[in-house]
Amino acid sequence: MSLYTIVTGAAGFIGSNIVRALNDRGVTNIIAVDNLKRADKFKNLVDCEISDYLDKEEFLHMTEHGIFDGSVEAVLHEGACSDTMETDGHYMMENNYRYSLVLLDWCQEQDVPFLYASSAAVYGGGRVFKEERSHEGPLNVYGYSKFLFDQIVRRRLPEATAPITGFRYFNVYGPREQHKGRMASVAFHHFNQYRAEGKVKLFEGYDGYGNGEQSRDFVYVEDVAKVNLHFLDSGVSGIYNLGTGRAQPFNDVAVATVNACRADEGKPALTLAEMVAQGLVEYVAFPDALKGKYQSFTQADLGNLRAAGYKDEFNSVAQGVGKYVQTLLGK
């Protein structure tokens, strides 16, 4: 029997896109690991082929008791609590840090490649997004849980017996994120706002930025899955930024979303100024709760990713959001 590929967080946003991408290359001997307390996540796997589903605690227990010894080809560890507003630090560290550590140890013992999700949240309020300790300073316990695991990986890499590859995801958006609620992407919320209210709401100026000009590195989930599979094939270790290398303002996401919806309605594209004038884009006060905890600018430095051999281009906001809106419209 062929070896298993393990995907944790398999029913989640990025995990389910990776399962689908594996399926597209003919890989179906996949064990999907997740926690379905939020049951509606199952929908992300309905069009995917897997060989088994295991709860995350059951999987960890089986792993620690040798059930999977010698039968696993690779582990893609996407499972985590990704709610940056979560305040239960004990839960966050157990779920994101300790769980990852157990899997890392097991993969090294078994000589199994371990690819895992880190986060751009490790950079906190910094302005330099390069994979170096001097630029890292998380602003919340979610970011800290990812940061601490990255530190362990850095110490382990020189003696690693199997590939260990971490990806610092920037602002990922795209299909299969509908279960995430408030933590879903800006593009998802913009689409639903526009459909429900006929307009998109953005934050007013804050932190030295104009209305809607706070900028992030928005990366389409299709590109995220492609990078994961590239490194799964290449076996190159390291910790890499995974964004587009381009910061784009929230205004760009709003314009792309509204114009994609308008195209579906047979209406012509508009500029940002025209949207604001027509009330299709509206600016609201920046929330007090986010002040001091908000990344107003992120832009992945892709130098290390490119040097490690990933050469493909990334979707721009206009391209990625255009595709995403088609999916959301059921096209």
Active site residues: 142, 180
Write the DSSP string, 58-92: HHHHHHHTTTTTT-EEEEEE------TT---HHHH
Q: How many angstroms separate the CA atoms of 218 and 46, rounded? A: 27
Task: Give residue for tokens 């020189």.
Answer: 158
Task: Give residue for tokens 């002040």.
Answer: 291
Q: How many angstroms separate the CA atoms of 241 and 157, rounded? A: 17
Q: CA angle, corner 145, sides to 154 and 153, nearest 5? A: 15
Task: Assign residue 239 a region (left: φ > 0; alpha: ψ between -120 and 50; beta: otherwise).
Answer: beta
Buried b (16+ CB within 10 A) or exposed e, 127-156: eebebeeeebebbbbbbbbbbbbbeebeee
Q: Which residues, including other chains, have CB under 8 Å from residue 8's CB and lie 6 or more apart?
A: 15, 33, 34, 56, 59, 75, 76, 77, 78, 79, 103
Single out the residue of 188, 193, 250, 248 nearest to residue 13, CA to CA.
188
CB atoms near residue 291 (< 10 Å): 10
Grouping H, G, I as helix, E, B as strand and the rest as coil, residue 142 is helix
Strand ranges, E, within the chain: 4-8, 30-34, 52-55, 72-77, 114-119, 164-169, 171-173, 200-203, 215-216, 218-220, 238-242, 248-249, 281-284
Single out the residue of 9, 8, 316 nearest to residue 177, CA to CA.
9
Strand partners, 31: 6, 52
